[in-house]
Chain A
């Protein structure tokens, strides 16, 4: 049995979480104070994921902030940024609109750009 100490990143509280695993299987999650923490800890010890926030160019003189609609694998963040650096979003673009897809996850606009 293994014990992994984590700091939850779901909210500013930053709970200290202890995860007990056995052969890659999660046995218990302790220390979290909400269900988001439980989910985070279970994923973090198996396949850490992060929501990516970055920017893409637009066809006007303005950068468009974007985010991945779901977390993507931590190890794929650099590839995602690289892929997105080659994209130019067409304006007008509305908040929530899909501008790209990476690893099957939608990359969506975080701002209206006229």
Chain B
């Protein structure tokens, strides 16, 4: 079995940024394992622009953003194994993987960075009545077909869910000659970015039905139509509001779930809020020397933030390899009223530096306060004009406050 200082599982935006950062922080013995035949992960099929505005101050397409990091990895001669699927990870950091050159092989790592990204929620998780005809895809699958393979999955399309991938695909399918008849969103507000409502739907006169869902899919061999219905506040279909739309294709854009099968196998503690690993502020998981970053840890809004988080994980993994394991003093971070999750879930008060708390709120709140408490003691209270579940929020806890934490950190939203 070969040894390696840092094994990075996944060569998408998270894995690439983590690799470059780990290298630049002093640890040179790194191996990236990627299951696809190219680096870059999901960015390769995201051919639309709007990436990199935060980080590079320019609007780039997904492949262009990926190329920046691929070039950085290549410049450092960091080894990469493509077409390589990781089969398992153990709690003593032995990675078992397979490809068509090495067969099944094992690597014993000093540190592991989990960077596997996320997976789309499927129709199966939604319980829609109907048979199983052809023509039902997740939006990301359709995106791969159109952008990487040059195949158009259908001509008359209905999209369920107004997540950004769904909106982007509404435009993409339209430009490629399909007719998108409707985008249905079960919530009373879109879960996608406003700019995508404008440039993907409004630009092409594609109707967005808020508080609507698909209640039936018709078709035996191929989709022939869908029934959509309005829903009440409890997201239950309202009888009498049914509307029928003839179509041959249904796309689902109903959320992303971190892909944590390997983490579970290794015994990494997972968070119910994020569906990713429970981590300290340096992105170390409950397993010493195992780090996580990017969408496998929490589903991010922007790839720019994935890169930022992954650089932190890469630096931390490098520190771990070069300086060894350190004793921790752990304080819990909890989501309270109005907050669905907080990351990191644990703060090590012995570590130096400020800690940025990332969190998502449960609903849309206007003129509210984000309050961070240590037990009964208020650490921060920040006024916000508006917060929404679609946009990840962040607040910074200064180092002096970290040092004096005594109970547990609680984040909540207070509305006057």
Taking beta carbons and an 8 Å cutoff, which residues of A are in contact with B? 7-12, 14, 50-51, 53-55, 57, 62-63, 65, 67, 74, 77-78, 81, 95, 110-112
Contacts and interface: CB of A to CB of B under 8 A. Distances in A.
B176 interface: yes
B61 A67 contact: yes
11 contacts: A7-B198, A8-B195, A9-B198, A11-B50, A55-B47, A55-B147, A63-B148, A81-B175, A110-B47, A111-B44, A111-B63
B193 interface: yes
A65 B63 contact: yes
Nearest to B202: A7
B73 to A, nearest CB: 14
A12 B203 contact: no
Contacts of B59: 10-11, 51
Contact of A111 (B50, B53, B67, B150): B67
Given A7-B195, A74-B203, A110-B61, A12 B50 contact: yes
Given A54-B175, A57-B150, A63-B149, A14 B195 contact: yes
B131 interface: no
Contact of B64 (A8, A11, A95): A95
B246 to A, nearest CB: 23
A11 B194 CA distance: 10
Nearest to B194: A14
Interface residues of B, number: 28
Interface string B40-56: 00001001111001000
B47 A54 contact: yes
Nearest to A78: B175
B382 interface: no
Contacts of B197: 7
Interface string B282-316: 00000000000000000001100000000000000
A54 B49 CA distance: 10
B352 interface: no
Interface in B192-223: 193-195, 197-199, 203
B68 to A, nearest CB: 10
Contact of A63 (B67, B150, B199, B302): B150
Contacts of B53: 11-12
Contacts of B301: 12
Contacts of B63: 65, 95, 110-111
Nearest to B175: A81
Contacts of B195: 7-12, 14
Interface in B142-186: 146-150, 175-176
A62 B59 CA distance: 24
A12 B302 contact: yes
Q: B47, B49, B148, B176: which has the most chain A beta carbons within 10 Å?
A: B47
Contacts of A74: 203
Contacts of B203: 50, 74
A63 B38 CA distance: 14
Contacts of A112: 67
A58 to B, nearest CB: 10
Contacts of B193: 12, 14
The 7 closest A-B pairs by CB, nearest first: A14-B194, A65-B47, A9-B195, A111-B63, A110-B61, A110-B63, A9-B199
Contact of B176 (A51, A62, A81, A111): A81
Given A54-B176, A55-B47, A81-B175, 16 more contacts: A9-B198, A11-B195, A14-B195, A14-B198, A50-B203, A51-B59, A53-B47, A53-B48, A62-B148, A63-B147, A63-B148, A63-B149, A65-B61, A67-B47, A95-B63, A110-B63
Nearest to A63: B150
Interface in B108-162: 146-150
B56 to A, nearest CB: 12
A77 B175 contact: yes
A53 B199 contact: no
